[in-house]
A and B are shown apart, each in its own frame.
Chain A
Amino acid sequence: MARRSHVQTTINGETVEFLCEPRQSLLEVLRDELHLTGAKEGCNNGNCGACSVILDGRLVNSCLVLGVETEGKSVETIEGLAAPDKLHPIQDAFLENAALQCGICTPGFIMSAKALLEQNPNPTEHEVRYWLAGNLCRCTGYDKIVRAVLDAAAAE
């Protein structure tokens, strides 16, 4: 077995160290090693977006990043979004709009929406749909999710 590597990275603003095998994805590291289970595995091959996190400011599928690749990088996950006493506006918008049913896709959608609004604070409906196309939701038909993201954009 390849040796476990020591990796130091920043997760949600905190410096974190962990050991992982090269074959462990960032998703596995987050979930199994660091017990940050907000990022979900829906497909493990980049086709559902349930594992979306932000890596050095860029939206990525954490199932397609190796844990060892995050050395010296900065990772944002769903767990880091809300302040202790206040939700992020996108989280509020998801609740207000009933933009979740089972909720398994929700962390991924929220991270994806955050990345979108950071670079395009006033997206059109089409821009929202294009950006979120990598996130699958099977419950909602997307209607309320798209509305929530548009609402969050308007609120910010």
Chain B
Amino acid sequence: MLENKEHKVIGTRPIRHDGVDKVTGRALYGADFQAAGLLHGRVLRSPHAHARIISIDTSRAEALPGVKGIVTAKDIPDAGDKIADLGEGAVNLKYLCDNILASDKVLYKGHAVAAVAATNPHIAEEACTLIDVEYEVLPPVLEVRQAMEPDAPLLHEHIRTTSLGETAEEPSNVASHIQHKLGDPEKGFAAADIVVEREFITGTVHQGYIEPHNATAHYNADGQLTIWCSTQGAFTVREQVAEILQYPISKIKVVPMEIGGGFGGKISVYIKPVAALLAKKTGKPVKVLMNRSDVFEGTGPTPASFIRVKMGATKEGKITAAEAYLAFEAGAYPGSPVGPGAMCIFAPYNIEHVIIDGYDVVVNKPKTAPYRAPGAPNAAFGSETVVDEIAEKLGIDPLEIRLLNAAKEGDRRADGPVHPRIGCIETVEAAKAHPHYTAPNGKKHHGRGVASGYWFNIGLESSVTINVNSDGTINLIEGSTDIGGTRASIAMQAAEVLGISAESVNPSVVDTNSVGYTAVTGGSRTTYATGYAAYEAAQDVKRQMIARAAILWEVDEANVQFADGEFSSINGKEEQISFRDLCGRLGETGGPIVGSGTVNPGGAGGAYATHVVDVAVDEETGKVDILRYTAVQDAGKAIHPSYVEGQIQGGAVQGIGWALNEEYIYNDEGTMTNASFLDYRMPTCLDLPMIDAVIVEVPNPGHPYGVRGVGEVPIVPPMAAIANAIYDAIGIRMTELPMSPDRLLKAMGKI
């Protein structure tokens, strides 16, 4: 399947197609949408982390001049317990509805309970303060191990733990228990000369996209519902809204506006159905915007977790067995990414004997949502720290031990799949060969650490249509919202097929009525799968163009070949025409050409990364500074290397934030006390050095150009790499995230 050709467009760095709009402020994001008669919506949120709703009285709010409509859970059609497959993972519809607007119980501070539409946002906000909600406050449970205690307050009376096919009798906050087993772990540990076992805690962190969630909805008189919004997947929004409102998908059009970041957090719907309910109630277009604290308190963070990792190795450094216990907070409703965490945890290694147990546990925090390689960073913080400790105790170089045990094609992952061609070894080797790894780093309290990471990547459905223009350009129609330059990376794959420049492609991201089904921009699938669809659509165009050349020259199609942007006839007639010129002759040869491509590819091809970091630790204050950072990653094939580097750099920096300062800080009542950018402390540019992104290319056999998804895996190694660097600097193993100054001071015994 892999094309082994020199590329003309792929691997170059053209200006992205949406670039001018985005540097001039003209690009329209969700919140920028305007409409005549627009009303503004605002959501009232629970002040309690856990409470029963006794009553909601909206009469005072309704009386406020300017208020046009108020909705509560009563306005959502009764869903029953239907299961709908929506986006990344199955979602229980009842949970989905209750998370949109709470019906009987609020399960976290910030849980939506009602929403108001008014003539301006200030009035809508004031009206929210006039809605009287009576609560019966219940004790919250805010931490995964507490939630697993038998006597913990229960979030859902009906949840019974499902464990390896069995369902428990008693209600519990543990929604499920999964297990993967390979070989005979006991035997593996018995064969080890050294066994290291450690426990780890990771905090709740947010995706932290700069653009808050937004949605504008409008019902036409004929019942057509249109939703303009920022989303990672317009079709996913359509499905979720259709399910929640029990409304046919054919009557819903979702228009994806530009999106200001998502990282997995803009797949689930929150206010989109609310905007639709308000639009229905008022008969007007209604725009609902979140503010920043709504985003922190009301949308999916990624889970806090408790992790125990045990690994054994021989004196020579061969890992003989590994064991992991992963308990993940799902938030208010089941569905943490403990599954992916369990899939990824030991994936950089070929280990004969493995056992992994994972627990999905509900707590009184917002329902978690995917965040870049969901689950894998938590898991890798544990495993990659333990590997480092084993290497250190055995006196083996930490990259060397990774090479010694590296996973390769044909090895089996603990959860079952056998690795296809992967680039694990290549990334470790590239890290080892990088000047950073051998640069002197001997200063006091400076340290260097490394860690590896894995993400499996996903395929899923994508559709692309290409319209050929008479001037030799093409219009490429796609359904993947562009969060980081994917218009370019998708267009370039079509351009490569047709032998035209990237600039000769006009890519458009269109609404759900205007392109075939396309799954979310997420899971590192867009350049891979939608790019694949673009490749197929361009192949379709090419085939049709060959037929036209054949008509033009009155030869058999088999006698027309296409290379380097030129059609030429072989076997006899000396004819030649450029792609561009032939585009000008479509009318006379049968009319316009539309090419299409749809895919649902299975060979996404996993991605590996290895990071090297230098830190300085201020022993008096516990502050850690990042001095140098190198992130090596297998991209399969980098279509647009600048945007591949961008994904690597951005993911690494999110990991740095996760490692050092980011976390939800809760008080005893379950209120997040740092729900602002001021106190959530994401890295600013002054906290960072340049991030050296090193692209390794081990082509993925599951894609015509060898592409692997690149967006997820860069966030997997940083936490462990930094922890290992801190150990190198001060000789202390940090086992809790974030490794914030106060935690370091404590670990150093200074406070």
Contact = CB atoms under 8 A, between A and B. Distances in A.
Interface string B617-661: 000000000000000000000001011011101111110000000
B28 interface: yes
Contact of A41 (B31, B649, B651, B693): B31
B690 interface: yes
20 contacts: A37-B28, A37-B34, A38-B26, A47-B677, A50-B210, A91-B20, A91-B23, A91-B24, A94-B23, A95-B19, A97-B642, A105-B210, A105-B260, A132-B684, A133-B686, A138-B209, A138-B261, A139-B650, A142-B653, A146-B690
A103 B649 contact: no
B301 interface: no
B649 A136 contact: no
Given A47-B676, A102-B209, A102-B260, A141 B29 contact: no
Contacts of A37: 25, 28-29, 31-32, 34
Given A23-B122, A47-B676, A79-B25, 6 more contacts: A38-B24, A41-B212, A43-B677, A101-B646, A138-B261, A143-B688
Given A105-B210, A138-B263, A143-B649, A110 B31 contact: no
Contacts of B19: 94-95, 100
B691 A95 contact: no
B31 A101 contact: no
Nearest to A41: B31
Contact of B685 (A42, A77, A91, A133): A133
Contacts of A146: 685, 690
Contact of B682 (A44, A100, A136): A136
Interface in A47-103: 47-48, 50, 77-79, 81-82, 87, 91, 94-98, 100-103
Contact of A145 (B18, B640, B685): B685
Given A50-B210, A138-B208, A101 B25 contact: no
A135 to B, nearest CB: 8
Contacts of A132: 684-686
Contacts of A139: 261, 483-484, 646, 650
A35 interface: yes
B23 A106 contact: yes
A20 B25 CA distance: 23
A22 B212 CA distance: 24
Interface residue SS majority, chain A: loop
Contact of A31 (B32, B647, B678, B684): B32
B524 to A, nearest CB: 14
A44 B292 contact: yes
A48 B681 CA distance: 11
B649 A102 contact: no
Interface residues of A, number: 57
B15 interface: yes
Nearest to B15: A95
B259 interface: yes
A141 B655 CA distance: 10
Interface of A: 21, 23, 31, 35-45, 47-48, 50, 77-79, 81-82, 87, 91, 94-98, 100-107, 110, 128-130, 132-147
Interface in B1-43: 13, 15-16, 18-20, 22-29, 31-32, 34
A133 B687 CA distance: 9
Contacts of A78: 24-25
Contact of A141 (B258, B643, B650, B677): B650
B697 interface: no
B358 interface: no
A109 B16 CA distance: 18
B16, B210, B650, B686: residue with the most chain A Cβ atoms closer than 10 Å: B210
Contacts of A39: 25
Nearest to A88: B23
A145 B483 CA distance: 16
Given A44-B292, A141-B650, A77 B16 contact: no
B259 A77 contact: no
Given A42-B292, A143-B690, A104 B29 contact: yes
B211 interface: yes
B291 interface: yes
B210 A137 contact: yes
A83 to B, nearest CB: 11
B676 A101 contact: no
Contact of B292 (A43, A103, A110): A43
Contact of B650 (A42, A94, A103, A138): A138
B676 A144 contact: no
Given A38-B25, A96-B15, A102-B260, A130 B686 contact: yes
A54 to B, nearest CB: 13
Given A91-B24, A138-B654, A140-B646, A101 B685 contact: no
B485 interface: yes
Contacts of A128: 685
A108 to B, nearest CB: 9
Nearest to A104: B260
Interface string B268-309: 000000000000000000000101100000000000000000
A103 B210 CA distance: 10
A136 B676 contact: no
Contacts of B654: 138, 141
Of the listed residues B485, B684, B686, the one surrounded by the most CB atoms of chain A closer than 10 A to its CB is: B684
A21 B212 CA distance: 24
A102 B20 CA distance: 13
Contact of A87 (B23, B122, B258, B678): B23
Contact of A100 (B23, B211, B647, B649): B23
| 3 closest residue pairs by CB, A with B | A38-B25, A104-B260, A141-B653
Contact of A101 (B27, B32, B650): B650
Given A79-B25, A96-B15, A143 B691 contact: yes
B113 to A, nearest CB: 22
Contacts of A35: 34
